[in-house]
Amino acid sequence: MFADLLTTDNATAFRALPGPQRTAMMKRFVLLEEAGRPLLSTGSSGHTVVRCESPGISTEMRFGETRVRENLAFVPMEIPIPGEDPRTITFGLVREGGNWKLLSLGLMLLDVPAMAKQWEQSDLAAREDNAIADLRAVAAALETYRRAYGKLPDSLEALGPGQPGGVSPEAAGLVDAELAAGSKDGYAIRYTITPSTEHLPQDEANKAETFSLAASPTEYGKTSRRSFFLDSSGVIRGRDKEGGVATVTDPRIGPE
């Protein structure tokens, strides 16, 4: 296992990473986007060559002469790139418990605990960006539904995928099934209709209705932190509400 090649702290942190993050880290090492078949051989210089073959592409790593300095070792590696000069980096190793463990890759010191925190923050930010995009997609679908059927739908479910016979007010085919169910990208989406306060004919009253959407983390602190709010004005608002529901009184997000 890859963790067996890491120092104790890094190995513990690596094993604690979610599966997708472990996979992402391994992709950085082998420079492949999908699983491949490893092949070991010896080059003309007598040093190890590691080749990894996947259905779409293969990569090759040619190791050079190891340089040892007390409890540290450095192994140069060359990666051939078709049509370009080879990429050269160096693996750093440290002796721990009588065995050599990975210390660095090129200029990057392997600090998996710190990397895990960075990836967690990056994942949280990405989910929050997705939540904002999801709210905008639902808002656009609501306005499209209103133009098509003369009123807002009673629930988000009506925006979902159409039936085999075609779209209808009950299944308008405007958003995917997850958004229609009100749960996507680690967020739960609440939909509210506010009737017009004016005394208007029914058709005009339907057109004058406004809506609001609120997206809250399904697992606060794990899937995301900030909650968001969007209404018919098109303004996104939100902040960290510790998993609570964002409202129109929360700070505006994005350009004024």
**Per-residue pLDDT tens over the stretch 92-105:** 888 888 888 887 77
Domains of the chain, by residue range, sit at: 2-110, 120-240
**What are the tens digits of pLDDT across the range 194-222?**
887 666 677 676 667 899 999 999 989 87
Q: How far apart are CA 156 and CA 177, in angstroms?
A: 10
Q: Which helix (H) or strand (E) holds 29?
A: helix 19-30
**Are the CB atoms for 188 and 219 separated by under 8 Å?**
no
CA-based torsion, 168, 171, 173, 175: positive or negative: positive
Q: For the whole prediction, is pTM greater than 0.75? A: no
The SS3 call for residue 2 is: helix
Q: Is 127 exposed, middle or buried (0-12, 13-18, 19+ CB in 10 A)?
A: buried
Tell me what the mean pLDDT of segment 60-85 comes to. Answer: 83
**What are the tens digits of pLDDT across the range 143-172?**
999 999 999 999 999 999 987 778 899 999
The SS3 call for residue 53 is: strand
The residues near 166 (Cβ < 8 Å, ≥ 6 apart) are: none
Q: How far apart are CA 181 and CA 156, in angstroms?
A: 7
